[in-house]
């Protein structure tokens, strides 16, 4: 799923420079239990490096530009805390998300069960067919102690109409491909709809930049295999 999209080295697609390229804003949220590697994935997305991270308190915010053939997407990445004590405030961060990554650890079965609970919570708050939802089995480098099979992940994704990828934040395996695939799907599903994604413009120094990203207009193509 999402693996046949055209790419060029460096994670970008070739484009013409004959006209200005529009930059659109994409809100992307990472959900999942504590210790599954959400923050490490976020660091890979943004800095293309691995770092051991402490548990996220509340939510961390990062950004990454992704360039497609005729548009640039500014991914605004919300890395949410997985601890139970922050569960009640998490919906404040993922409401209005254009993309949601549900992350579990393939070496810990309880995180796979937990991610299904996160999915139920997400379904209460997002507009159907307006959010691209991706199931991510992280820590692929621990395949020798795997407790969740690839088939189980694929089956859950198929049943729930999600996309599915296994990654390793440690080695970087499939992380860049995942980021680019998410960007393509969001643009194809939401960006093509009038008003689906708002335009982003760099704010002059000293100005306060405020724009509501919580509303989603238009509908998305059906998410799923």
Domains defined along the chain, listed by start: 22-191 (3.40.50.300)
pTM of this structure: 0.77
Pairwise pLDDT comparison (4 vs 130), residue with the higher score: 130
Average pLDDT over residues 148-156: 98
Mean pLDDT of the chain: 78
How many CA within 13 A on the CB side of residue 170? 9
Structure confidence by residue, pLDDT tens digits, 102-141? 999 999 999 999 999 989 888 887 766 789 999 999 999 9
- For the chain, the 3-state helix, strand and coil shares in percent, each to the nearest 5, are 30, 20, 45
Q: Which segment, 1-15, 125-139, 174-188, is predicted with the most confidence on average? A: 174-188
Whether the CB-CB separation of 23 and 201 falls below 8 Å is answered with yes
For residues 126 and 96, give the distance between their C-alpha atoms in angstroms, rounded to a whole number: 7
For residues 76 and 153, give the distance between their C-alpha atoms in angstroms, rounded to a whole number: 26
Q: Which strands form 132-138's sheet, in the order they lie side by side? A: 59-67, 71-80, 22-31, 99-105, 132-138, 163-166
Give the pLDDT score at 110.
96
Beta bridge partners of 31: 102
Smallest Cα–Cα separation from 137: which of 107, 182, 159, 161? 107
Residue 194: pLDDT band with limits 50, 70, 90: low
For the cut 50, the answer to whether the pLDDT of residue 153 exceeds it is: yes
For residues 46 and 64, give the distance between their C-alpha atoms in angstroms, rounded to a whole number: 6
Token readout for 201 is: 């413009």
Smallest Cα–Cα separation from 189: which of 164, 161, 218, 213? 218
């Amino acid at each position: 799923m999402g693996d046949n999209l055209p790419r060029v080295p460096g994670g970008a697609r070739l484009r013409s420079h004959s006209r200005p390229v529009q930059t659109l804003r994409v809100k992307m949220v990472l959900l999942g239990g504590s210790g599954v590697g959400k923050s490490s994935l976020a660091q890979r997305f943004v800095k293309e490096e691995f770092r051991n991270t402490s548990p996220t308190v509340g939510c961390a915010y990062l950004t990454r530009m992704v360039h497609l053939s005729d548009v640039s997407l500014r991914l605004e990445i919300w890395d949410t805390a997985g601890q139970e004590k922050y569960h009640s405030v998490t919906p404040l961060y993922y409401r209005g998300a254009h993309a949601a990554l549900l992350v579990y650890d393939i070496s810990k079965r309880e995180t796979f069960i937990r991610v299904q609970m996160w999915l139920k919570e997400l379904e209460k708050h997002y507009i159907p067919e307006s959010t691209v939802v991706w199931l991510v089995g992280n820590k692929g480098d621990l395949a020798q102690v795997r407790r969740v099979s690839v088939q189980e992940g694929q089956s859950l994704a198929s049943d729930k109409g999600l996309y599915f990828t296994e990654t390793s934040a440690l080695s970087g395996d499939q992380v860049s491909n995942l980021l680019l695939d998410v960007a393509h799907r969001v643009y194809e599903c939401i960006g093509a709809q009038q008003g689906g994604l708002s335009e982003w413009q760099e704010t002059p120094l000293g100005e306060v930049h405020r724009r509501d990203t919580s509303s989603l207009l238009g509908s998305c193509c059906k998410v799923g295999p």
